[in-house]
Structure 1
Amino acid sequence: MPRIEDDTRRPRRQNTGERRGDWRRRLLTWGLVAAALVLGFLIPYTIYLNHQVVERFGQLQWQLPTRVYARPLTLVPGMALDAATLKTELDAASYRDDGAGVRPGTYQHEGRRWRIASRGFQDVGGKVGPSRIQVVIAGGKVAELRDLARDQAIRSAVLDPARIATLYGQKQEERRLVQIDDVPELLVTGLQAVEDRDFADHHGIDLSGMARALFVTVKSGGETLQGGSTLTQQLARSGLLGIGQEQTATRKFNEILYALLIESHYDKRTILETYMNQVYLGQRGNQEIRGMAAGAEYWFGRDLRDLNTAQIALLIGMVKGPSAYDPRRNPEAATGRRNFALEKFHETGLISAEELEQAKAAPLGITDAPGSTSANRFPAYVDLVRRQLARDYPAGALQGAGLSVMTAMSPSAQAYAEGAVAGTLKALDTEKRPPLQAGLVVTDVHDGAVRAVVGSREFARHGFNRAIEARRPVGSVIKPFVYLLALAQPGRWSLASWLDDSPVTVTLDTGKRWTPGNSDGRSHGSVRLMDALAHSYNQATVRLGMEVGPERVADLLRTLSGVDAKANPSLILGALDQSPYAMAQLYQFLASGGEVQPLHAVRGVIDQDGKVVKRYDTTPAPAQEGDAIAARLVTIALQHAVTNGTGRRLVADGLGHLNAAGKTGTSNDSRDSWFAGWTGDHLAVVWVGNDQNEPTGLYGATGAMRVWSSIFARLPSAPLQVSDDGLDWEWVEGSHGTDPDCPGARRFAFVAGFTLPYQPCYRYESDPYYDQGAPADEADEPGFWERLFGGGRGRELDPARRVPPPPPAEPPPPSPR
């Protein structure tokens, strides 16, 4: 039986028209669905991108680094300054000698005359405008100061400060924002001539340019990659997409969308200004160089406005690839790219044929070092800056905040201090001596400003800051404050007072007996108070300190520097661990003439708009009269220490003209070497020792004082002149005032109204009451100070050996004093 098929299961044959209609409907449906999907994705995505454009480019919310500056150099006629130091200051601030000194940031040097064109800057005291001045240096001083614009003598001039550090945020981006009006015209037009000739006419993308680029690339078989991106696309790529990522179709699509959105929101001027501040121009480690202004500083060490035609062309040429055209690594490639940009300048009529040839023949003009964009060239000093700002700014608040931190650092003082540490320690290195380290602080005696800090002999490295963190036994540098307390009681003590430098024993609270000796192992009998300090006699100092009271010594240290010391008898001889910075704060009281001056490394903080947020350079309170007089007396004694005592080698070093005051210090077993000394302008406290606390064999005079001497052999500083206010000078012999021509007489300063009673001189060798048999101490030969004032310690005898003369028949007439 034949099989019967079910017709209902067969496909029904359709005619051609029906099939074509179904296909069209399906295609339309699929198209509508696809369009809906695309629009459904593209519209929200475009809105998202639009939000990013507005947030990023509309508000220009870049994370700007906080910049740290040295103090501005203030020039005043008569101030101590030499040519080498002025050049050091100008070099630090990126000035250059162009032989003219007309353009800002340049100078001209001819013999004693310097012509300097400053840039102007915002300081804590207000805006300082640019200027052109002439400085004449003669005899180690500023002999003349003139304003060249007005052709007249002026009382002072201020040069813009050097940048010493940069505090970055999360992104290590070096950037300096500029407005389009501050950008050289050739840079604005030249950038368009090289990178985007149709910038003024397109709407974000250049279809014809993209077609040309594609044609060149295809024609070369991929060997020549022709760029077709507009400046707006480059800005979108750099600002929102980031750099260093592989180019893909998705990234290119995003780049085009960004460019179109940017052009729809902002005018050409804003776009171009943003490009100038965003363009990537190099890399220093993990630090990106962003923007034309930062690029000019990094590559040429110049302000953007000071670039010449060839340098502008090189900067524009490097936009294509800062790594490929790095002029330090690839000078030939950089030169070729620069010349290519110059040719484009000429083609578009921006420069003449003559200018083209001159610019091509010019050197690249790159600085040897990468400008002043280094994150931190002075780690020890910046460490102090951070510490002093910590009480007002939480950790990290300064980084990337776009602030300007104005410090008190002197680039020349810092350079001389670093050189002194490196050179002196190298000279002191021996195979038998353990590795030496150092820490020092240099301050201004007038206001407590910290001019230099060195925390290590490897001063450029970050690490342990010995100037601030190292706490080492201070030894004899504490002694002047024992004598200060004594001299503050003029009814009991004066510089001419006699002290007993014989063996002494002190019973401690524990019941133990303490018997300190002198460093030379000798006792010196009765000695003048001034000599006991100048020669650092321990036995005499302990006797004086026990009379003054260790408790008062501890209180004084706490008052002057915040040092918390235990009031033990051993404190009198420096049984105290402190840092060079703490000792500098203590000595600032003496160096300032009795003023309490808190040391400060920061002068002030300025925000992005030039507004002063905080000032730290307050005027110190005047010294109280009693403090000032006592400080002067100690200073006179420590000047004697330099001319005739433990610091006398400074005079041999040729520093006698400074009339410096200073005190050496040495801890037990010569583990620590100290010196604190000051002139009319500067105080420096130096420590030299070993990190493992091993004996170094160095005394204060053979270690730390050598560093101090090396600093002040180069650092211009005024001689120390001690005021006579509140003082009376008197010639003294024995325990009485006497006549200047009396043998053995010495001249001493006394608190006014507390001079010794006058007694005529009866101690000539022919006088029967003169004890000719009393021997003089060989160690007390007259030195510079005694010879200067006509006396000598070698002519004085122990009062116990003197036979007092009989009273005169009638009182002698008063002698003028």
Structure 2
Amino acid sequence: MRLIGRILRWLLVLAASGATIGVLAVAFAYLYFAPNLPDVAALRDVQYQVPLKVYSVDGRLVAEYGEKRRDPLRFDQIPPTLVHAFLAAEDANFYEHPGISIRGLLRAAFELIKTGQKRQGGSTITMQLARNFFLSDRKTYSRKIRELFLALKIEKALSKDQILELYLNKIYLGNRAYGVGAAAHVYYGENVQKLTVAQMAMIAGLPKAPSAYNPLADPSRALERRGYVLTRMHDLGFITATQFEQAMQAPITASLHGTDIEAHAPYLAEMVRQDMYSRYGDRAYTDGFKVYTTIKAQDQADATSALHEDLIAYTERHGYRGPEVKTRLSGDLLKQWRAGLTHMPAAGGSAEGAVIPMWDQLLSHYGPVGGLQAGLVAASDAKMAEVYLAGGQVVALGVDDMAWAGRYISVNRVGPAPTSADALLKPGDVIRVRDVRGHWSLSQVPKVSGALVALNPHNGAIVALVGGFDYYASKFNRVTQALRQPGSSFKPFVYSAALHDGYTPATLVNDAPVVVRDSALEGVWRPENYERNFNGPTRLRLGLVHSLNLVSIRVLQAIGIDYALKYAARFGFDPARLPHNLTLALGSASVTPLEMATGYAVFANGGYRVAPFYIDRIVGGDGSVLYQAHPATVCEPNCPAAQATATPSVPSQVLPENTTGPAVATPLASARPLSLDTTETAPAIRPAVRVIGAGNAYQMTSMMKDVIRMGTGRAALRLQRTDLAGKTGTTNDQVDAWFSGFNSDLVTTAWVGFDDNQPLGHAETGARAALPMWMDFMGAALKGLPEATMPQPQGIVTVKIDPKTGLLANPGEADAIFETFREGHLPKPDTSAAVSGSEATPQGSRGLTQQLY
């Protein structure tokens, strides 16, 4: 008995000594590590790495930029069942322990003694949080000790719910998803509130090993892990037996979901990305900024569709260039393919075949371009071709579905239409097909380029912008970066200058041959009209309506090149980038589509200059508005009184500059933003500045309405609106094709051309190549909207004139027509308005300082 007593005393002494040593060791460790432990108070104001999100003005997601996908949630936004799933999988006693679990640590220590390996284990949710925010993933003893002390500090600083909120938003769950909000979108395309019990358990099983238990990478292991989580949830009473059984039987429904883009505007999104990076640097991608742009989702969709349809129509007019690539298909595989189809599909119909991985792998190298899908011709005969699409879909193309595809010979020559499918398409050909409302047809990726931009003429807000056929095939933004010659679409600015200088729409100008001797034009220049005819004395209105080159040149000769250049600056054009010779009248300048739309906005809004802009507001990660656009706005007759509020001096918001590709525009200043570090606000409305008279804008709009009513833009009559005005533009050899047009609420410019300045081909004028794009967009954008036209301003009168002489009509004159004039500038029966060459100038006040009318 004495021996037993001695042994017990020794054991108690050893235990006490061990406890004392343990306490001293812990104290020593704390004193050693505590000074270098981070301040956990930072967790109270944590900022997650949240990607930059870009939205349309109506709140549709346009783009997301950032390495990490994260959708932070408040704790009350996370379903309790999802919280229980994580507790069951990671830390069932979370609400009971002080941040560390002695049982878990002993279990991890026993595993170390047993195996001799440092394995993951013993970490509570609080310890994982400490590691995720403050420590590395290196498995060292010192890191583990720091993790323990940090967990204790976190538990003192935060509530349990706060700790869980941080953890569930921070944890990495595979496939760039950080936090449960992002994981729900990545794996199931849903908000967390809509997840099933089985889906919640699948996500909760990921923290242990996001790669190993990933349902996309290893479904069997993921299913096993989900079963473990569900079992734990049932054992802990978090779910009922019925819920458990249903969840255990549920199939894996996870699939990779990309960002849910709701408005396709990649060119404008890139403009925003560059703008945000210039403001914030790398923080732009991590601080959770939300940028609301000025584009409208439906208008953007209509603009994209209009451009695609126009460029596809152009490429089909010029013939089929052949398959993108020719391959050889395995004979045995083709036999199996043929045996697998019970019958040939009807022409234009489709059939479903078995998935062929080898063919899917081949097609994976040919992604969709502008909505055109790649397909592999599997079989063809005289009547039709069977085309395999990725995923096992089979479509049948009949001869009618390729009727356009005569062989491309040159830009002006196309071979005869195909009479049999197998003469055009061979097995192994990789081709493009397009689906138009459920009907498949042969197509091809256009080599021609195009651009469309639409803006609100009252404040310059860009409502739609498409910089090319497919952003991912070519990131060159032709709306803002391509310098192109506008051709005759520049003439309205010359004619406006003439009206300002005393001309009237009824002034006669001689449409006759012009010979110009100018060393800058390489000697003698003999310009011609497009139709190569001469009309003699022609009213100014008809000169614009029929786009008569010779009339435009004589007008420019009369008003003077220097005068016209200074006047063009009123519309936003840089005179230094305009030609200082008579070719200015024919549109030989180099301008961007956005500059043209901005210039036309002056006519549309009654004579005011507005600056194009595309960012409406920037919202910070905390929800505060960091920037709100206050553009100069056309507000007459109800403009607010001038306010004395100072606008901080900051750099202008500029459009991005490209460093590669075709001719590039100088950055164009947009609406100046407020300083991001000031609380000052601008006036609710900042009045735009008038740059041309209301009468001038009205007369020009009237003349451009006639371009549509009876001139080169008359195809637009199909829109059945009387409020539309515009002008075509075509350059020498049909290199560029334009149409710019508007009503009082919307301005749109459409351009078509090759990036390398190849000719578009015979007869590919602005009316044929660009106007259909403009019409498709304007028809959709204005559908159901009332007509919007500029009212006749004061100082403008309408009288009848003789259409041949431009003089006032005599009473009862049968062929008299109405024309508009400035008060005091009516023609007289005995006044000759003809101008021959540059011999005379209409009576009027010269110079740019005269009163605007």
- Contact (CA 8 Å) 1:299, 1:370: kept in 2 or not? no
1:712 paired residue among 772, 778, 783: 778
SS in 2 for 1:663: strand
What's the counterpart of residue 173 of structure 2?
A: 281
- Contact (CA 8 Å) 2:264, 2:301: kept in 1 or not? no
Gaps of at least 5 residues in structure 1 are 1-30, 73-160, 760-797, 801-817
- Contact (CA 8 Å) 1:298, 1:373: kept in 2 or not? no
Structure 1 residue 724 corresponds to structure 2 residue 797: no
Structure 1 residue 424 corresponds to structure 2 residue 316: no
SS in 2 for 1:531: helix
1:662 paired residue among 691, 710, 726: 726
SS in 2 for 1:701: helix
Q: How far off its partner does 1:541 sit?
A: 0.9
Q: Which whole-Å CA distance do the structure 2 matches of 1:248 and 1:527 have between them?
A: 91
Structure 1 residue 179 corresponds to structure 2 residue 74: yes
**Deviation by residue 1:607-654 (Cα, 9 ceiling, x = unmatched):** 333333222233512564962221222122222212321122233xx3
Q: Which whole-Å CA distance do the structure 2 matches of 1:162 and 1:602 have between them?
A: 14
- Contact (CA 8 Å) 1:673, 1:689: kept in 2 or not? yes
Structure 1 residue 600 corresponds to structure 2 residue 613: yes
**Deviation by residue 1:324-351 (Cα, 9 ceiling, x = unmatched):** 4555566676667566655655554445
Q: Which whole-Å CA distance do the structure 1 matches of 2:550 and 2:225 have between them?
A: 77
Structure 1 residue 263 corresponds to structure 2 residue 164: no
Structure 1 residue 206 corresponds to structure 2 residue 90: no
The one-letter code sitting in structure 2 at the alignment partner of 1:572 is A
**Deviation by residue 1:191-244 (Cα, 9 ceiling, x = unmatched):** 32343221101122323346668999999x99xx9965322233234333456x
Structure 1 residue 381 corresponds to structure 2 residue 268: yes
- Contact (CA 8 Å) 1:728, 1:753: kept in 2 or not? no
Structure 1 residue 233 corresponds to structure 2 residue 127: yes
SS in 2 for 1:706: helix
Percent identity (aligned): 30
Q: Which whole-Å CA distance do the structure 2 matches of 1:349 and 1:528 have between them?
A: 90
Q: Which whole-Å CA distance do the structure 2 matches of 1:173 and 1:390 have between them?
A: 17
Q: Which whole-Å CA distance do the structure 1 matches of 2:256 and 2:542 have between them?
A: 53
Count residues in correspondence: 624
The one-letter code sitting in structure 2 at the alignment partner of 1:538 is N
What's the counterpart of residue 817 of structure 2?
A: 746
SS in 2 for 1:371: coil
**Pair 1:502–1:483, CA change in 2 (3 A):** same
**Pair 1:517–1:468, CA change in 2 (3 A):** same
**Pair 1:260–1:700, CA change in 2 (3 A):** same
Aligned runs of 1:778-793 on 2, under 5 Å? none
- Contact (CA 8 Å) 2:730, 2:766: kept in 1 or not? yes
What's the counterpart of residue 567 of structure 2?
A: 556
Higher alpha-carbon deviation: 538-547 or 630-639 = 630-639
Aligned runs of 1:58-207 on 2, under 5 Å? 58-72=44-58, 161-168=59-66, 172-207=67-102
Q: Which whole-Å CA distance do the structure 2 matches of 1:556 and 1:333 have between them?
A: 73
**Pair 1:730–1:588, CA change in 2 (3 A):** same
1:483 paired residue among 482, 495, 502: 495
What's the counterpart of residue 571 of structure 1?
A: 584
**Pair 1:686–1:237, CA change in 2 (3 A):** same
Q: How far off its partner does 1:705 sit?
A: 2.3
2:545 paired residue among 534, 544, 547: 534
Q: How far off its partner does 1:278 sit?
A: 0.4
The one-letter code sitting in structure 1 at the alignment partner of 2:557 is M
SS in 2 for 1:567: coil
1:499 paired residue among 504, 509, 513: 509
Q: Which whole-Å CA distance do the structure 1 matches of 2:220 and 2:310 have between them?
A: 42
What's the counterpart of residue 525 of structure 1?
A: 536
2:258 paired residue among 364, 370, 373: 370
2:625 paired residue among 609, 612, 617: 612
* Structure of larger gyration radius: 1
- Contact (CA 8 Å) 2:694, 2:793: kept in 1 or not? no
What's the counterpart of residue 694 of structure 2?
A: 628
- Contact (CA 8 Å) 2:708, 2:715: kept in 1 or not? yes
The one-letter code sitting in structure 2 at the alignment partner of 1:638 is M
Q: How far off its partner does 1:655 sit?
A: 2.1
What's the counterpart of residue 762 of structure 1?
A: none
**Deviation by residue 1:631-684 (Cα, 9 ceiling, x = unmatched):** 222122222212321122233xx3233742222212222222222122454322
Q: How far off its partner does 1:537 sit?
A: 0.7
- Contact (CA 8 Å) 2:725, 2:742: kept in 1 or not? yes
What's the counterpart of residue 294 of structure 1?
A: 182
**Pair 1:682–1:320, CA change in 2 (3 A):** farther
Structure 1 residue 650 corresponds to structure 2 residue 716: yes
Q: Which whole-Å CA distance do the structure 2 matches of 1:39 and 1:349 have between them?
A: 39
What's the counterpart of residue 99 of structure 1?
A: none
The one-letter code sitting in structure 1 at the alignment partner of 2:73 is V
**Deviation by residue 1:509-542 (Cα, 9 ceiling, x = unmatched):** 7694433111121112222222211221100111
SS in 1 for 2:173: strand
Q: Which whole-Å CA distance do the structure 2 matches of 1:495 and 1:716 have between them?
A: 29
- Contact (CA 8 Å) 1:670, 1:696: kept in 2 or not? yes
- Contact (CA 8 Å) 2:205, 2:229: kept in 1 or not? yes
- Contact (CA 8 Å) 1:379, 1:462: kept in 2 or not? no
Q: Which whole-Å CA distance do the structure 2 matches of 1:754 and 1:361 have between them?
A: 88
The one-letter code sitting in structure 1 at the alignment partner of 2:538 is V
What's the counterpart of residue 707 of structure 2?
A: 641
Q: Which whole-Å CA distance do the structure 2 matches of 1:625 and 1:47 have between them?
A: 68
2:465 paired residue among 453, 456, 463: 453
**Pair 1:44–1:181, CA change in 2 (3 A):** same
What's the counterpart of residue 12 of structure 2?
A: none
Q: Which whole-Å CA distance do the structure 1 matches of 2:194 and 2:569 have between them?
A: 52
SS in 2 for 1:472: coil
**Pair 1:585–1:350, CA change in 2 (3 A):** same
**Deviation by residue 1:100-129 (Cα, 9 ceiling, x = unmatched):** xxxxxxxxxxxxxxxxxxxxxxxxxxxxxx
**Deviation by residue 1:487-509 (Cα, 9 ceiling, x = unmatched):** 335xx433233222111233447
SS in 2 for 1:187: helix
**Pair 1:315–1:383, CA change in 2 (3 A):** same
What's the counterpart of residue 300 of structure 2?
A: 414
